[in-house]
Amino acid sequence: MGEFRENRVICVLGCTAAGKGELARALARALGAEVLSIDSMKVYRGMDVGTAKPGATERAKLVHHLIDVADPWESFSAARFVELADAAIDQAHAAGRPVVAVGGTVLYFRALHDGLFAGPGADAALRAELRDRAARLGAAALHAELAQVDPAAAARLHPNDLRRVERALEVHRLTGRPISELQSQWGAASVRRPELRWVLIGVRHERETAARRINDRVRRMVRDGLVDEARRLWSDPRGISMQARQAVGYAELYEAFEGRCDVESAIERIKVNTRRLAKQQRTWLRRTAGLRWLEGAAPKNAGATDVEGDAREEDGDAHNGGSMTRRPALSELLDAALEMATAAQAGEDPRGGG
C-alpha cells in the first residue's frame, strides 16, 4: 500500500447551538487539523458575540479559515465562500494536515460538497422591482407570492428572509421553474470534489433539549454584549450589507433600534427565530446522504429546565414520544468522531449508518 496522502475533509454539521463547534475544535486538536468555518455570518468582522465566534484563545491554538474575511457592509456569496474554502483545504492538505469543517449554513455546505445549482444570473431590474414591493407591502407579501408559485421553497424560507425569497421569485420569473425543483439536483448530484475523502458527521439533540440550549445561548449572548455589538454595527456610517443585516440575532435588534419594537421584545424574537432557523437546518440535514449522526453531549448545566413555553409552539413535534437515552460526554463524541476520521485515513467508508 502506498504512503497515505492527506485528503480528508471531516465535516461536523448540526443546528444552531448543537455544540458542533466544541466537538470540531476537540477533533481538530486530536488530529492536528485546521478548522474551516461553514458559517455565512462568521465571515463578517465585528459580528462576534451574535455569531458565537471562537475566542482569541481558541483561534490562537488552531488555524481557523473563513472567519473575519469580509466587512459587514460587503456582500459575500456562496460562490466566494467555495473559492476561499477550496484554497484553504488545498493549503492544509499540502501541509499534510486534514481539515475539520464545521458549521450550520447548509447552503454553504451544499455548495462546497455538491456544487452550486445552475440557476440564472441576477436581474437587476427585477430585483429592484421586488425590493420596491417589499418596501411598500412588506416582506410577507413576497413570501405569499412565493407560496403560490413554489410552495416547497416557501415552506423552508422564513418570510423575513427577504434575500432568499427574492432569489426564489427571481428564478421562477426568469426560468418558469421553481427554485426548489432546480435545487433538487443537490440530493442526487455527485460530490463536487471526488478526489477528497469526505467524512460527514452530524450533531443533534432531541428538540426540547435543542430549544433549551438555544434559549440559554441567546441569554448568554445578551449578557456578553450582543445588544451593544449590534448597535455599533447598526450605527456604522458605512452601512450593513443585505446578507449581514438579515442575520438572526442582529436583524431583530436593528428593528428595535429603528423604533419598531423595544429591545426586550427583540430579544424574545431572537429566541423564536433561532428556533425556527434550527428547524429549517434539521429539515435540510435530514436530506444529506452519508451523514452519520451523533447524539449531542450533555450540557454543563444539565439540570436546567427553564424552557420557554413557546418553544413548543415553534416546533410542534418537540414532544414526539419516547425518551432520550443518556447523552454522552464530549469525550465520547470525540472518540466516535475520531473513529470515523481514522477509518477515512485507512481508506474505509467512514459513513456507516444513520
How far apart are the C-alpha atoms of 208 and 97, rounded to whole Å?
Answer: 37
CATH of the domain at 20: 3.40.50.300
One domain, residues 15 and 129: no
How far apart are the C-alpha atoms of 81 and 64, rounded to whole Å?
Answer: 14
How far apart are the C-alpha atoms of 161 and 143, rounded to whole Å?
Answer: 9
The domain boundary, picked from 163, 183, 203, lies at 183
pTM score: 0.78
What separation in angstroms does the CA of 124 have from each of 2, 121, 136, 166?
A: 53, 9, 18, 12
The domain boundary, picked from 132, 154, 183, lies at 183
How far apart are the C-alpha atoms of 19 and 35, rounded to whole Å?
Answer: 15
Evaluate whether residue 2 is within a structural domain. no
- Per residue in 69-115, pLDDT tens? 999 999 998 889 999 999 999 999 999 999 999 999 998 999 999 88
Kindly indicate the confidence band of residue 349, based on its pLDDT and cuts at 50, 70 and 90: low
In the chain, the number of structural domains is: 2
One domain, residues 105 and 142: no
One domain, residues 219 and 314: yes
Evaluate whether residue 1 is within a structural domain. no
- Per residue in 183-235, pLDDT tens? 665 454 568 899 999 999 999 999 899 999 999 999 999 999 999 999 999 99
One domain, residues 51 and 141: no
One domain, residues 200 and 303: yes
Identify the pLDDT of residue 287.
Answer: 84
Evaluate whether residue 274 is within a structural domain. yes
Evaluate whether residue 353 is within a structural domain. no
**What b/e readout covers 157-185, taking b as 16+ CB neighbours within 10 angstroms?**
bbbbbbbbbbbbbbbbeeeeebbbebbee
- Under DSSP, is residue 10 helix (H, G, I), strand (E, B) or coil? strand
One domain, residues 245 and 305: yes
Evaluate whether residue 351 is within a structural domain. no
Q: Which amino acid is at 61?
A: K
- Per residue in 257-278, pLDDT tens? 999 999 999 999 999 999 999 9
Evaluate whether residue 3 is within a structural domain. no
313, 307, 105: which is closest to 210 by C-alpha?
307
Identify the pLDDT of residue 158.
Answer: 81
- Under DSSP, is residue 65 helix (H, G, I), strand (E, B) or coil? strand
305 pLDDT above the threshold of 50: no
Evaluate whether residue 59 is within a structural domain. yes
pLDDT above 70 covers a percentage of the chain that reads 84
Contact 44, 75 (CB under 8 A): no
One domain, residues 107 and 210: yes
One domain, residues 207 and 178: no
19 pLDDT above the threshold of 80: yes
Helices (H), the chain: 20-31, 56-61, 78-94, 106-113, 124-137, 139-149, 151-156, 162-175, 179-183, 185-188, 207-223, 226-235, 242-245, 251-257, 263-286, 310-314, 330-345
One domain, residues 109 and 128: no
One domain, residues 259 and 242: yes
- Per residue in 34-56, pLDDT tens? 999 999 999 999 999 999 999 98
Identify the pLDDT of residue 325.
Answer: 47
CATH of the domain at 178: 1.10.20.140
One domain, residues 53 and 170: no
How far apart are the C-alpha atoms of 25 and 33, rounded to whole Å?
Answer: 9
Domain hosting residue 147, numbered range:
124-183
Evaluate whether residue 202 is within a structural domain. yes
One domain, residues 149 and 220: no
The domain boundary, picked from 164, 183, 202, lies at 183
Sheet-wide strand order for 64-65: 64-65, 34-38, 99-103, 8-14, 197-204, 292-295
- Per residue in 232-253, pLDDT tens? 999 999 999 988 998 999 999 9
68 pLDDT above the threshold of 90: yes
